[in-house]
Structure 1
Amino acid sequence: MPARTRLDVPVLTLLQALWPLFALIVGGYLLRRWDFPGEAFWPAAERLNYFILFPALLFSSLATAPLDNPALPRLAVAVFLGLGIGWAALLLARRLLHWPAARFGAISQGILRFNTYLGLAAIGSLHGQDGLAMAALMLALMVPTVNLMSVWALTAERGVSLRGLLLPVAKNPLILACVAGALFNLSGLGLVGGSDRLLNLLAVASLPLGLLCVGAALRPQELAGEVPALAWNCALRLLAMPALALAVARLLGLPAMESAILVLFFALPTAPTAYVLTRQLGGDSHLMAGIITLQTLLAAGSLLLVLRVVAG
């Protein structure tokens, strides 16, 4: 088992890495509120990023990542152990509190899903290209898993076939990009003839546009009502889940960077795309919008706290 090492990151470094990311989120919110460049821009920008730019980032990261990295098996154990404990606790709570699927789906996504745009931007700022390569490996494990959990949670009451469960996952462009990047990596072909530059240009555009879209999607008006549910959901996602990840990392003896990236993914606010999935599958979209908005706002402080604890 690898020895755990200390990752010494000063508070100033964390602040310098995080504040530009949240500045972009605030900028996106203000631009949409001021109706610039127009209401039609934001749905189109989200689709462009979700289907083209962000998959290009994931593909290029996995196409060049060292898939024989000895960290992969222990990362897989850490990811599935952390998500498994969280999922088991949610299932127990649903049984005890008798949540309907519409509510359970929103609550589950609030606790298990994560904002990949914010996560990769933060990891790139703190750990550079090595961190992004490791994060891409972790995303290849986490994205399909949390998507399966989310679909099942939203459809648990009415039942769902295996095809109905797997189809939304199989059509997810982020999952397809991860699979394609890994297969391309294993083929040994390599990114040649300027293709690496093309993918890099697309990838560079993805994260800032994604963060602007996160801000544009915030719905402060959805915070009315459901205050207790919003409060404890945010506490579980932003504080309890990273504490669980840190416990798993120490149990497995993960090295410093692996521990930091694992905890960061478990500390991120939930994904804005959770709102779309919730509406498509008949979940409680009002609760989901409130969870996304409040978690994103609170994450500006909670991420700094969590990362400082890990670094120290």
Structure 2
Amino acid sequence: MNVLLPIFLLILVGYVFRRTGVVELSFWPQAEKATYYIFFPALLLSNLSTASFGEQPALTMAGAMITGVVAVSGIALFLQSRFRMPGPAFSSIFQGSIRMNTYVGIAAASAMAGSPGVTLSAVALVATIPLVNFLSVPVVSHYGAGNISSLRAILAALAKNPLILGSVGGFALNYTHIQLPDALYEMLHLLGRAALPVGLLTVGAGLNFRHIAPQKYRILLAASLKLMLLPAVTILACRLYNVPTPADVVAVLFASLPTAVSCYILARQLGGDEDLMASIITAQTVIAFVTLPVALYLVD
């Protein structure tokens, strides 16, 4: 799909910049931190604070998406209990199984359904962003190199996670109808626009294609869970909950997206396998060119 091509090209640009030395090596760690602590939270806060839900079937659509994410999370954790993969590797597989590139989803939904698609995208954001972060942060913290295992440490990690803070803050502003001053909102909007390109460049900068072949089975496992199982469960849930069109199409669209760029940032920050994570992101971006249209066809 054309909407995915610029993403893959930006990853390649980051890879070329890092390998050719066009940008100083000291730039990339700072870019990662800025993306994780500033750009992505600003994107979430500005998007969610102004989302308009109107008469859309928010509850049934959200329920279908939540069902899919929870089911795949449970299956991933079950597989880990049986096969005992290395902790950091599993944490990256877990993220790659449930997280989605929501920015791409908004663009695709808008192109497919116009203004109603954007509104339904807001429903998808509210339903999934807090959930996948509340699931991912404890898993990556526990299984990552940091090995944060106590309940207090996990709760502290959740409370300080900038992605969760951005999601909760945006939803709170929306729910209470508190409007940010125009200048402040525009500042957050501009910062949020930097999230996707800078995040993609940092993914490319950390990418090493030599890691793909040795970990191809783990990459394929994450891709199977994310690009095949999650859309399939979401389609079944949409039919079970009688989610109407176009809400069911947008729900399946978001379930079928390649995993989020922010997975790489979270893996770097909390001790996950960032090389595997970068490979999963890149591989899913390519594979989604085939699987996403198939999933959308099946939901009709």
* 1:132 to 1:26, Cα distance in 2 relative to 1, 3 A: farther
Amino acid at match of 2:245: A
Aligned 1:130-209 pairs, distance under 5 A: 130-154=116-140, 155=142, 160-209=149-198
Partner Cα distance (2:223, 2:33) in 1: 27
Q: Secondary structure of the residue that 2:132 maps to in structure 1?
A: helix
Aligned 1:200-219 pairs, distance under 5 A: 200-219=189-208
Moved more, 246-255 or 117-126: 117-126
Partners of 1:17 and 1:125 within 8 A in 2: no
Partner Cα distance (2:14, 2:86) in 1: 34
Unaligned stretches of 5+ residues in structure 1: 1-14
Of residues 35, 38, 63, the one that matches 1:49 is 35
Q: Secondary structure of the residue that 1:17 maps to in structure 2?
A: coil
Q: Post-superposition shift, 1:82? A: 1.0
Give the equivalent residue in structure 1 for 2:287: 298
Q: Post-superposition shift, 1:29? A: 3.1
Partner Cα distance (1:229, 1:237) in 2: 12
Identical columns (%):
38
Q: Post-superposition shift, 1:171? A: 1.7
* 1:102 to 1:207, Cα distance in 2 relative to 1, 3 A: closer
* 1:209 to 1:39, Cα distance in 2 relative to 1, 3 A: same
Say yes or no: does 1:59 pair with 2:48. no
Q: Post-superposition shift, 1:144? A: 3.1
Partner Cα distance (1:129, 1:29) in 2: 35
Say yes or no: does 1:230 pair with 2:216. no
Q: Provide the TM-score with structure 2 as the length reference.
A: 0.81
Unaligned stretches of 5+ residues in structure 2: none
Of residues 241, 252, 270, the one that matches 1:252 is 241
Of residues 3, 9, 16, the one that matches 1:30 is 16
Give the equivalent residue in structure 2 for 1:104: 90
Q: Post-superposition shift, 1:96? A: 3.0
Number of aligned residue pairs: give it: 297
Amino acid at match of 1:168: A
Q: Post-superposition shift, 1:294? A: 2.3
Q: Provide the TM-score with structure 1 as the length reference.
A: 0.78
Amino acid at match of 1:89: I
Q: Secondary structure of the residue that 2:246 maps to in structure 1?
A: helix
Q: Secondary structure of the residue that 1:60 maps to in structure 2?
A: helix
Give the equivalent residue in structure 2 for 1:6: none
Partner Cα distance (2:181, 2:129) in 1: 28
Q: Please give the root-mean-square deviation of Cα atoms over the aligned residues, in Å.
A: 3.2
